């Protein structure tokens, strides 16, 4: 499985996942070409990359 962590996701959880499973295919949106893009563009990119998105967007 391949994962993408969005900008609002807690980086402590991201780092913990990598510590527990160093070979996990997980990246942060900040480290991709869609950094700072609108949600629809990020969702399209996630689908094309065949990744699962982890999000914790609390904005209304």
Which tens digits make up the pLDDT trace of 5-50?
999 899 999 999 999 999 999 999 999 999 999 999 999 999 999 9
The predicted model scores a pTM of 0.84
Please give the pLDDT value at position 9: 92
Please give the pLDDT value at position 50: 98
Domain ranges of the chain: 2-54
Beta partners for residue 28, in sequence order: 5
Using a 10 angstrom Cβ sphere, with 0-12 exposed, 13-18 middle and 19 or more buried, the burial of residue 28 is middle
Q: Is 51's pLDDT higher than 80?
A: yes
């Amino acid at each position: 499985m391949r994962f993408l962590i969005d900008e609002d996701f807690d980086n402590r959880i991201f780092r913990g996942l990598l510590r527990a499973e160093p070979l996990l295919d997980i990246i942060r949106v900040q480290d991709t070409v869609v950094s700072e893009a609108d949600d629809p563009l990020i969702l399209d990119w996630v689908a094309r990359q065949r990744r699962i998105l982890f999000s914790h967007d609390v904005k209304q």
